């Protein structure tokens, strides 16, 4: 009997827990159709908005590569390198809502059993802007979108009331989530920015607003490197650059840290893990921290635009993992999801050599305070 790879996430059934994230792989009808044909369990559309979008002149994404035999990092194409990260300053979809609406309908008719999540974005500065969220949500769900992902995380918005600027403000996160929940007949996921001090604060705000899940991470705010020969940024237009977003292998451990904080704080809630995933081992770290689905962008961009090889590897990896651990009675993702969530602890709870104790940098507690000191894991 072949393994059961399906999952139920925020009440929606997925053939498998692997999604293409909102990005160039999901920017067109033909890409999304190819993605479903390739086997992705779900697709999050490129973010759809109502405001004007004009991208920069020239390339919107480049890939930073590391030499294998030297510390050199560069976007220059050359042999013998390994992928370090993607860097992009691409805005949301430059196609209007009217362009997306019939396409969402057609895709859902052709693939009724595959999950199509509509990523949406609007402002938050006044009631008209807030009502745009509802306009977008109504239009997409009327065409059959299975869920929404609120883009509260695009790192390169000039507008203070949009993208990651919402994701850095707990009140706005709650307000926007609530506004969408008022009209949504399908689950609402909030995609948070990793560019805050304590993402648990923003996750709490999203859940207070009624979010059914958190997706994380969007790209990390970053600059391209400066070429030591030309003294120009490796990516620029007329010599100028603005901050953009880092994705790919470099952000995998960073994004896991954010996810670990959230799944520990909200063990009963739903999370979709994103950041640096290109094979099953990477996805597994997110599952073991408690994620119910994962999403992929950079690796798919580099694999024939929609990642047919990546999804093949992910499906094969999950199948092989379940087979390998069948003696533990693991039959599906739910049987091992979150298994390592509780292994992330304060440093003072990590065992010290020999009999030594460590009290998180505090002096040895005495008297009354001693009873409140954390108990090292080794002595539990
Ligand atoms: C070129 C590019 C465009 C992106 N556009 C969007 C977008 O429109 N909406 C969004 O929510 N995330 C967007 N992202 C972020 C990705 O969905 C994803 O969160 C991020 O790249 C981290 O995943 P990765 O490490 O697999 O690339 C974009 C990423 C890239 C590289």
Closest CA to 145 of 119, 122, 178: 119
Task: Write down the catalytic residue from 140, 154, 291, 297.
Answer: 154
**Ligand 1 atom nearest 219 alpha carbon:** 20
Which residues have CB under 8 Å from 279's CB, separation 6+? 310, 313, 314, 317
Closest CA to 244 of 220, 261, 228, 268: 220
Q: What is the mean pLDDT of the chain?
A: 95
pLDDT tens digits along 93-124: 999 999 999 999 999 999 999 999 999 999 99
- Confidence (pTM): 0.95
pLDDT tens digits along 129-185: 999 999 999 999 999 999 999 999 999 999 999 999 999 999 999 999 999 999 999
Which residues have CB under 8 Å from 164's CB, separation 6+? 152, 153, 154, 155, 157, 193, 195, 218, 221
| 17 pLDDT higher than 60 | yes
What does the pLDDT average to over 213-231?
Answer: 98
What is residue 336's predicted lDDT score, i.e. its pLDDT?
Answer: 98
Length of the chain, please?
380
Q: Would residue 140 show up in a list of annotated catalytic residues for this protein?
A: no
**Ligand 1 atom nearest 153 alpha carbon:** 11
Distance CA 330, CA 294 (A): 19
Query: Which of 19, 20, 21 should be mutated for ligand 1, with most atoms under 8 A from CB?
Result: 21
| 259 pLDDT higher than 50 | yes
Specify the residue with its C-alpha closest to ligand 1, atom 29.
Answer: 23
Structure tokens at 232: 């120009």
What is residue 8's predicted lDDT score, i.e. its pLDDT?
Answer: 98
Q: 218 C-alpha vs ligand 1 centroid, how far in Å? A: 6
Specify the residue with its C-alpha closest to ligand 1, atom 12.
Answer: 22
Distance CA 84, CA 73 (A): 8
Which is more confident, 379 or 246?
Answer: 246
Residues in the ligand 1 pocket, defined by CB under 6 Å: 21-24, 46-47, 60-61, 86, 88, 90, 92, 119, 151, 153-154, 191, 218-219, 247-248, 251, 274-277, 296-299
What is residue 369's predicted lDDT score, i.e. its pLDDT?
Answer: 56
Distance CA 215, CA 341 (A): 17
What is residue 380's predicted lDDT score, i.e. its pLDDT?
Answer: 36
Q: 149 C-alpha vs ligand 1 centroid, how far in Å? A: 13
What is residue 59's predicted lDDT score, i.e. its pLDDT?
Answer: 97
Specify the residue with its C-alpha closest to ligand 1, atom 21.
Answer: 247
SS3 per-residue string spanning the chain: CCCCCCEEECCEEECCCEEECCCHHHCCHHHHHHHHHHCCCEEECCCEECCCCCCCCCCCEEEEEEECCCCCEECCCCCCEEEEEEEECCCCCCCCHHHHHHHHHHHHHHCCCCEEEEEEECCCCCHHHHHHHHHHHHHHHHCCCCEEEEEECCCCCCCCCCCHHHHCCHHHHHHHHHHHHHHCCCCEEEEECCCCCCHHHHHHHHHHCCCCEEEECCCEEECCCECCCCCCECCCECCECCCEEEECHHHHHHHHHHHHHHHHHCCCCEEEEECCCCCHHHHHHHHHHCCCEEEECHHHHCCCCCCHHHHHHHHHHHHHHHHHCHHHCCCCHHHCCCCCHHHCCCHHHCCCCCCCCCCCCCCCCCHHHHCCCCCCHHHC
> Is residue 40 very low, low, confident or very high in pLDDT (cuts 50, 70, 90)?
very high
What does the pLDDT average to over 255-264?
Answer: 98
Which is more confident, 377 or 194?
Answer: 194
Distance CA 256, CA 128 (A): 36
Distance CA 196, CA 329 (A): 39
> Percent of the chain, pLDDT > 90?
92
Q: 46 C-alpha vs ligand 1 centroid, how far in Å? A: 9
User: What count of Cα atoms within 13 Å lies in the side-chain half-sphere of residue 84?
Assistant: 20
Q: 200 C-alpha vs ligand 1 centroid, how far in Å? A: 21
Q: 371 C-alpha vs ligand 1 centroid, how far in Å? A: 47
The single residue listed with the structure tokens 């091992």 is 336
What is residue 354's predicted lDDT score, i.e. its pLDDT?
Answer: 85
**Ligand 1 atom nearest 251 alpha carbon:** 25
Burial label, 131 (beta-carbon count in 10 A; 0-12, 13-18, 19+) = middle
pLDDT tens digits along 317-364: 999 999 999 999 999 999 999 999 999 999 999 999 987 889 889 987
| 378 pLDDT higher than 90 | no
What is residue 377's predicted lDDT score, i.e. its pLDDT?
Answer: 45
What is residue 2's predicted lDDT score, i.e. its pLDDT?
Answer: 72
């Amino acid at each position: 009997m072949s393994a059961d790879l399906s999952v139920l996430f925020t009440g929606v059934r997925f053939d498998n827990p692997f999604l293409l994230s909102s990005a160039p792989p999901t920017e067109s009808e033909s890409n999304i159709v190819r993605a479903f044909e390739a086997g992705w369990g779900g697709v999050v559309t490129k973010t759809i908005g109502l405001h004007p979008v004009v991208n920069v002149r020239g390339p919107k994404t480049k890939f930073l590569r590391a030499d294998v035999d030297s510390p050199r990092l560069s976007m220059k194409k050359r042999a013998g390198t390994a992928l370090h990260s993607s860097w992009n300053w691409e805005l949301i979809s430059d196609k209007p809502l009217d362009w997306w609406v019939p396409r969402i309908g057609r895709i859902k008719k052709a693939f009724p059993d595959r999950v199509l999540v509509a990523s949406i974005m609007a402002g938050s500065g006044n009631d008209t802007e807030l009502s745009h969220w509802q306009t977008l949500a109504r239009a997409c769900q009327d065409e059959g979108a299975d869920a929404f992902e609120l883009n509260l995380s695009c790192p390169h918005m000039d507008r203070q009331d949009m993208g990651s600027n919402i994701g850095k403000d707990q009140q706005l996160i709650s307000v926007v989530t609530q506004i969408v929940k008022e009209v949504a007949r399908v689950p609402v996921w909030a995609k948070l920015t990793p560019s805050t001090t304590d993402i648990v604060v923003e996750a709490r705000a999203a859940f207070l607003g009624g979010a059914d899940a958190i997706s994380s991470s969007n790209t990390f705010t970053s600059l391209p490197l400066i070429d030591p020969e030309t003294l120009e940024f490796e990516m620029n237009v007329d010599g100028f650059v603005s901050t953009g977003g880092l994705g790919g292998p470099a952000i995998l451990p960073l994004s896991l840290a954010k996810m670990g904080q959230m799944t520990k704080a909200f063990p009963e809630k739903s999370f979709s893990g994103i950041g640096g995933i290109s094979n099953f081992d990477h996805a597994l770290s997110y599952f073991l921290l408690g994620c119910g689905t994962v999403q992929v962008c950079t690796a798919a961009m580099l694999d024939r635009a929609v990642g047919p090889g990546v999804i093949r590897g992910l499906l094969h990896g999950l199948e092989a993992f379940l087979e390998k651990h069948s003696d533990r009675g693991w039959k599906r993702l739910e049987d091992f999801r979150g298994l390592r969530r509780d292994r992330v602890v304060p440093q003072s709870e990590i065992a010290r050599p020999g009999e030594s104790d460590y009290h998180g940098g505090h002096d040895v507690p005495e008297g009354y305070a001693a009873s409140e000191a954390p108990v090292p894991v080794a002595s539990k």
